Amino acid sequence: MVTSQTAPIESPLIRYCRWSLAIVAAAMPSYVARFGVRPIRTDLLEILVLLTIALYIGGQLRTWSAWRPVRSGIEIPTALLLLAGLISIAVSTDHFGAIGFYRAYFIEPIVLFYVAIDLMRRPNDFRIVLVGFAVGTSIFAVLNYGAWVIALKNHVDINLGNAPEALYTSPNSVAIFMEPAVAIAAGFVLYSDDRRDRTLALIWLVFGLGSMLATLSRAGMLTLVVLVFVAVVTMRRTRLKLAILGTAVLAAVAVLQIPFVSKRLYRQFDPSYPRTTYFLRCGWSLASSASSHLSCSSARSCGGVGRPTRGQPVWPSLCCGAARRPSSRSPSTACSTRRTSTTTSQLSSGLWPPSRSPLSRSS
């Protein structure tokens, strides 16, 4: 005999916590609103995260004895990460500051992660949080548009390597923040069966794409190319493949007509150009170093002409684009490679809801 079981009644605090999680997803850029008195400082995003965790604990108090944490499958790597954080506190010269970073970058994000996977069990739960993320990124995109409007209205000389942006300290950080939003929106547009979801996702995609292109981030544009490639490969119907590819080509041609974009991408596929893309510079530097290594090997086999002095590297360093100078102890420069200009890839912190500061990447 089949018996029906009554679904457990959800606490109102749990429902409020789910909406609070959606607000956290929408307010991720709010970490820039910092306040407090040294040495204790916080930000708006952290307040929202702590409020969400408090609502979750309050909602579970009634059934606390039966509560069990949701298994994610990454408990061991998470424990190792926490252990590494504790070691960093021990070896830090500023223990109080290190504890603050440990709280903001380790403890709170991990706790919020387990709260989120416990709250988002049904499709509608995901929808609530995703709507918050869509609204937040769309508002952020509008703010970035406003930064461009103000700059153009005031006739500001636009620095192509540091395009106008609203909140972050680098346009590349804006591009990194918008990339997941663009990918998720594109996924709903291409694969959702619900017409309403596709329409809303298309509006979201327009805001996100425009904001990404406004950053003039070359890595962000490369991400869009990869996104189109993945969409074409994963789409099953041939007509849709051709439609996506044709639309992407036409859109790329139209975008290249924008003066700022065309200037930003000028001679990007010329490895000898000092401002070419970072990845091409890496390849060019490695190829030049390998060529020099082969020349040195050939000269060594012919009697040592151009042979490097002891301790002078001949194989390319793992650091792409590292400056190469001939050793001052060697009169020969046959084995020295030319100095190549580089940009530095800066890594601040993660992007996902628990993050406090954006990734800054050289595009």
Rounded average pLDDT per 10-residue block, the chain, 363 residues: 53 90 92 80 90 91 76 89 93 88 91 91 90 94 92 87 82 89 92 89 93 89 90 88 91 90 78 63 54 50 43 37 39 34 32 37 39
Contacts of 151 (CB under 8 A, 6+ apart): 158, 164
Q: Could you tell me if 176 and 359 are in contact, meaning their C-beta atoms sit under 8 angstroms apart?
A: yes
- Check residue 201 and give its pLDDT: 93
- Check residue 170 and give its pLDDT: 83
- Check residue 245 and give its pLDDT: 92
Residue 45's alpha-carbon distances to 11, 26, 322, 358, in angstroms, are 25, 10, 38, 13
Q: Could you tell me if 346 and 362 are in contact, meaning their C-beta atoms sit under 8 angstroms apart?
A: yes
Q: Could you tell me if 335 and 292 are in contact, meaning their C-beta atoms sit under 8 angstroms apart?
A: yes
Q: Could you tell me if 208 and 141 are in contact, meaning their C-beta atoms sit under 8 angstroms apart?
A: yes
Spatial distance between the Cα atoms of 142 and 164, rounded to a whole number of angstroms: 12
- Check residue 21 and give its pLDDT: 94
For the chain, helix, strand, coil in percent to 5 are: 60, 0, 35
Spatial distance between the Cα atoms of 190 and 200, rounded to a whole number of angstroms: 12
- Check residue 282 and give its pLDDT: 57
**What letter does residue 308 receive in the DSSP assignment?**
P
- Number of Cβ within 10 Å of residue 110's Cβ equals 17
- Check residue 357 and give its pLDDT: 37
Helices (H), 27-122: 44-60, 75-91, 95-102, 108-119
Spatial distance between the Cα atoms of 17 and 20, rounded to a whole number of angstroms: 5
| 313 closest CA partner among 331, 300, 296 | 296
Tokens for 16, please give them.
């409020």
Spatial distance between the Cα atoms of 233 and 251, rounded to a whole number of angstroms: 19
- Number of Cβ within 10 Å of residue 248's Cβ equals 17
Tokens for 123, please give them.
């499709």
- Check residue 123 and give its pLDDT: 87
- Check residue 275 and give its pLDDT: 64
- Check residue 343 and give its pLDDT: 32
